[in-house]
A = this chain, B = another copy of it.
Amino acid sequence: MKINPSPPIEWRFSQRAQQLQSSFIREILKITQRPEIISFAGGLPSPATFPVEKMQAAFDKVLANNGKVALQYGPTDGYLPLRQWIADSLSIEGSTISPEQILMTSGSQQALDLLGKVLIDEGSRVLVETPSYLGALQAFSVYRPQFASVDTDDEGLVPDSVTPLADGARLLYALPNFQNPTGRSLSVARRLELVETCARHGLPLIEDDPYGALSYNGAPSPKMLNMNPDGVIYMGSFSKVLTPGIRLGYVVAPLPLARRLELAKQAADLHTSQLTQMVVHEVVKDGFLEQHIPSIRQLYGDQCQAMLAALETHFPAGVSWTRPQGGMFIWVTLPQHIDAMQLLDEAIANKVAFVPGAPFYANTPETNTLRLSFVTVPPERIREGVAILGRLIKAKM
């Protein structure tokens, strides 16, 4: 049963849909997933770190003991025992976080989308680091803000540069630990200064923290959340410490905002998988992460050292890079005349890939920058790939 042929629809998309662009990284990944390519382009955690058997046992246990509940619709804010566990683990340094402040999300990307939805009108000023996390720029862009880029240096975001932009802005988005893309961390003094500056201006400060637990020496950094729970919105994720494919993150917000985020989540997808939340609670509740995370730190730390050593050996004078103390990324700055996008074409022809830095800038890009990830590449391939890149760069000096 078909109707007579009719002219095709002339699609009329919303103005916000016209902002939508595919993440440049996801486009690169399609090319670079071929096995012959040494890819430093990924932002994916190493599957070697996934506790598959532990997850399998937890799925078994939850489905066997509590299957009908796990498979039924659940509350929008999330599974209470898991929210309680998160609240307890964040209630440190004299501040108390309540489960009511926590909304479980489908990965922390969804928290970015919900925050954009609830806080950004067309033309709203939104403050981001220079450079900033691409996924956040993408999520916020949908709501058509005016991005204002806040200065950064080797210690990360410069709090002083927030002041002239703060009044009337809707939010400041910061990734203080082992930032994506630079690998930089914000010093403790700067955290305090930043939290104070934002509080003084009534500016909501988003602390996105997917990598905080991946400090190579194991030392935790103080959270801005605990410095001012009434003004800081904290985002966490199980993607980098457990596994990303299950899509489980959370956002911690002061109550008036938490309530709005919950309503936005209800309209967006009702709730995040009950089963996944119950399984993750089963996995983490007895301290598994404390045993598991050190093995991730060790792996990433060793591969980071291998890459730093290779950069030292193969990259010419005039090229600089960050020296991360944790996380998944190194940020390279080439001499100004070298365009990383052009370099990428040559690198791919030579079977090496990375991500050019330009897409990470909300406004004016620095085209001579690039991001390297070392987490999914074994040391000998890291050395090989960095040597090839070094040769290509030297040819342009």
Contact = CB atoms under 8 A, between A and B. Distances in A.
B73 A245 contact: yes
A289 interface: no
A26 B29 CA distance: 41
Nearest to A138: B267
Stoichiometry, copies per complex:
2
Contacts of A377: none
Interface in A63-96: 63-64, 67-74, 76, 93-95
Given A118-B14, A142-B117, A269 B247 contact: yes
A245 B273 CA distance: 5
Interface string A320-357: 00000000000000000000000000000000000000
A20 B263 CA distance: 6
A138 B266 contact: yes
A11 B267 CA distance: 21
A395 interface: no
Residue among A13, A170, A256 with most chain B CB within 10 A: A13
A43 to B, nearest CB: 8
A107 to B, nearest CB: 5
A110 B247 contact: no
A274 interface: yes
Given A267-B113, A268-B110, A246 B273 contact: yes
Interface string A117-144: 1111100100000000001001101110
A97 to B, nearest CB: 13
Interface string A140-159: 01110000000000000000
Interface string A217-250: 0000010001110110000000100011111000
Given A200-B6, A269-B110, A71 B59 contact: no
Interface of A: 1-4, 6-17, 20-23, 26, 44-45, 47, 50, 52, 55-56, 59-60, 63-64, 67-74, 76, 93-95, 105-107, 109-110, 113, 117-121, 124, 135, 138-139, 141-143, 170, 188, 192, 195-196, 199-200, 202-204, 222, 226-228, 230-231, 239, 243-247, 254, 256-257, 260, 263-264, 266-276
Given A2-B227, A2-B228, A3-B196, 20 more contacts: A7-B202, A8-B230, A8-B231, A8-B254, A10-B202, A11-B204, A12-B170, A14-B124, A17-B260, A20-B118, A44-B73, A50-B67, A71-B244, A106-B247, A109-B267, A109-B270, A110-B269, A135-B267, A139-B268, A245-B273
